[in-house]
Amino acid sequence: MRALTIDAHGGLDQLRYRTDLPRPTPGPGEVRVRVRAAALNRLDLWVLGGIPGVSIRPPWIVGADACGAVDQLGKGVTDLADGDQVMINPGWVADGSDPDDEPTAMGYGILGEHYPGTLAEYLVVPARCCRVVPASLDPAAAAAATLVGLTAWRMVVSRARVEPGDDVLIWGIGGGVALAALAICKSIGACTWVTSSSDDKLARAAALGADVCLNHAAVDVGKEVRRRTAKRGVSVVIDSVGTATWGASLAALGRNGRLVTCGGTSGAMVETDVRRLFWNQWTLMGSTMGSQREFSAVVAAVVDGRLRVPIDLVVPLDAGHTGYERLASGAQFGKVVIRVAE
């Protein structure tokens, strides 16, 4: 089968398009999916560069997001049928010991990082990770909303518990997590404050309903938020940027505020003044991926149109390298999708 792989960690030159890989076979409780569309995430760049403590077995198939059609059922799978179009939860507990596949459970892993990835013609996953979606749902849109939708859902709904009336600051609106968070916050009825270094991206975010758009390259976001809120600050911050934004995130966060982080695109080390933490009674939270229960909620939101993540670029599998280049450039607004099959 065809697939995009790496044999070793390094730069984009490590990516290799192959046509000679064997089709995987589903074991008991698993299904094989014929991939229609896959999508790239920042995670794919981290895996390419090498993640401490995570080892790959060459030829390693990359990619965490996919939508496709069920192609073969493993023993004992009765709730899926050949040809069903499915969205796939990209994370699960390897030994099946947690039916809800909580990301905090021991043995939790992610496609493309711990399990062979999605940028391939065929993929084997546990049947419990599959949700049947209408055949009319565009597989590119479904793949684009999967990992970032799940991540943002847990951040916004489960961790920050955003409600109508919350002011939510979302950093880096070109990124997939940020755009998924924007869509989820809008569907809840929160007031959204978004940032970007690009006025063009901000204009596109405004067209998607972002309420306040701030260019973080032109203004001090912390000060600007306080100025516009008469020093009150926002009630929630969604930060996936890390080092570069942490200080301004806290400067923007009001009393009793909740900050949720899932990433450190700009760097991992941050500094917090503990006096401001206790005086303002902040809640600083980490979040990673989501459970099966949360994934079902994400799929429902994708199917009924509440959760759409814009697509920046679609390329065929044999041009996956071009997709990675686009992601690495930081110029994208939304997701890079890899079309695997027609």
Ligand X SMILES: NC(=O)c1ccc[n+]([C@@H]2O[C@H](COP(=O)([O-])OP(=O)(O)OC[C@H]3O[C@@H](n4cnc5c(N)ncnc54)[C@H](OP(=O)(O)O)[C@@H]3O)[C@@H](O)[C@H]2O)c1
Which chain residues interact with ligand X by CB under 6 A?
A: 41-43, 46, 147-148, 151, 171-178, 196-198, 201, 216, 240-241, 244-245, 262-266, 288-289, 330
CA R_g for the chain: 20
Contact 83, 70 (CB under 8 A): yes
* Interatomic CA distance for residues 132 and 146, integer angstroms: 13
What is the closest distance, in whole angstroms, from the C-beta atom of residue 92 to ligand X in the complex?
A: 14
Q: Looking at beta carbons only, is 197 or 229 nearer to ligand X?
A: 197
Q: Looking at beta carbons only, is 70 or 262 nearer to ligand X?
A: 262
Half-sphere CA count of 2, side-chain side, radius 13 A: 14
Q: Looking at beta carbons only, is 26 or 222 nearer to ligand X?
A: 222
What is the closest distance, in whole angstroms, from the C-beta atom of residue 26 to ligand X in the complex?
A: 26
Q: Looking at beta carbons only, is 77 or 156 nearer to ligand X?
A: 156
Q: Looking at beta carbons only, is 35 or 173 nearer to ligand X?
A: 173
Q: Read off the tokens for 324.
A: 């990675």
SS3 49: helix
Compute CA distances 11 → 14, 39, 58, 311, whole Å.
6, 19, 16, 24
DSSP, residue by residue, 200-269: HHHHHHHHTT-SEEEETTTS-HHHHHHHHTTT--EEEEEE-SBHHHHHHHHHHEEEEEEEEE---TTBS-
